[in-house]
Structure 1
Amino acid sequence: MGRTRTYSWDDPSIPAQSARELAGLDFLRAMQAGLIPRPPIGQTLDFDLDEVEHGRAVFSFLPGEEHYNPIGSVHGGVFATLLDSAAGCAVQSTLPRGTAYTSLDLTVKFLRPITAETGRVRAIGTVVNGGRRTALAQAQLLDADDRLLAHATSSCLLFPIPA
């Protein structure tokens, strides 16, 4: 039995340019509505932005074998990517036009394994504190029964987008 996966992605400069032109919440809502293409990482791991509001972002993900580590469960880097995306986009949703962010750190606590049998999981990111230069966010990774699978905190640096 062969196992393959094929996917494609759009030019990453398209969402990057839109991020420069829109306030964070407007940008994320346009992406959620399909008006702006998902970034390549969303296509690569096949996760979706399901909800976004000021200070909150929710992604969902259906784990599969293609996400496994050598011991037969979803790789911790996939957990971290989902949590980083949720926390970062929660921060982005609060930013005015012309302001960007980058993650300064990400601290992840892995609490339960994820396998293909786990089913769809959600990464819920929220802003804990927003400042002029930095923001602190957290994210929780939950299964369909709202069991906590992992938790993360992230510090983000806020900066003006270069012309």
Structure 2
Amino acid sequence: MAGQEGPGGFAERLGAEVAGADDGGARIEFTVTEEHLNPAGTLHGGVLATLVDTAMGQAVRSTTDEGEVPATSQLTVTYLRPGRPGRLVVTARVRTRGEHLTVCEAEVEQDGRALAHALATFALLHH
């Protein structure tokens, strides 16, 4: 699983690393630095939202056919505790795949503790 290509775009610019994406699952690793913090000194919620969205998009992409592109149509993030500088891991899994919509779930862990939980619905666009 290690050595996958980067997530591309904004998530890659943030420093997200795809550790693996296969068979409806994905794992992203990320190192929180000072530049990712909000004025309160904790991990900015928008960074976490980007990471879970990216991980779930990678999970969906691992199940799509050529010409199908997942697009987030709904995203809910529950922030369970503040994130701090250091390494974190996002694990995503496709839960239900329909003809046009796919539901995913993601967990974020830092120091072995839950940081956030996310649920998203992706539409499959056809190119």
Do Structure 1 and Structure 2 share a fold, with TM-score over 0.5?
A: yes
**4+ runs deviating over 4 angstroms:** none
Q: CA deviation at 1:38?
A: 4.7
TM-score by length of 1: 0.73
CA offset digits 1:80-134 (Å, max 9, x no partner): 0001111111111100111111000100000011111xx2101111000001100
- How do residues 45-60 of structure 1 correspond to structure 2 at under 5 angstroms? 45-60=14-29
Identity %: 34
In 1: Cα distance, 2:87 partner to 2:107 partner? 14
2:96 counterpart (129, 138, 151) = 129
Rg bigger for which structure?
A: 1
Normalized per residue, the structure richer in helix is 1
Q: Which runs of 5+ in 1 are unaligned?
A: 1-28
More RCO (CA 8 Å, sep 6+): 2
Q: 2:126 matched to which residue of 1?
A: 160
**Aligned: 1:76 with 2:21:** no
Count, aligned residues: 126
Q: Which runs of 5+ in 2 are unaligned?
A: none
- The answer to whether the Cα contact below 8 Å between 2:96 and 2:104 also exists between their aligned partners in 1 is yes
**Aligned: 1:107 with 2:73:** no
Partner SS state of residue 96, structure 2: strand
Normalized per residue, the structure richer in strand is 2
TM-score by length of 2: 0.92
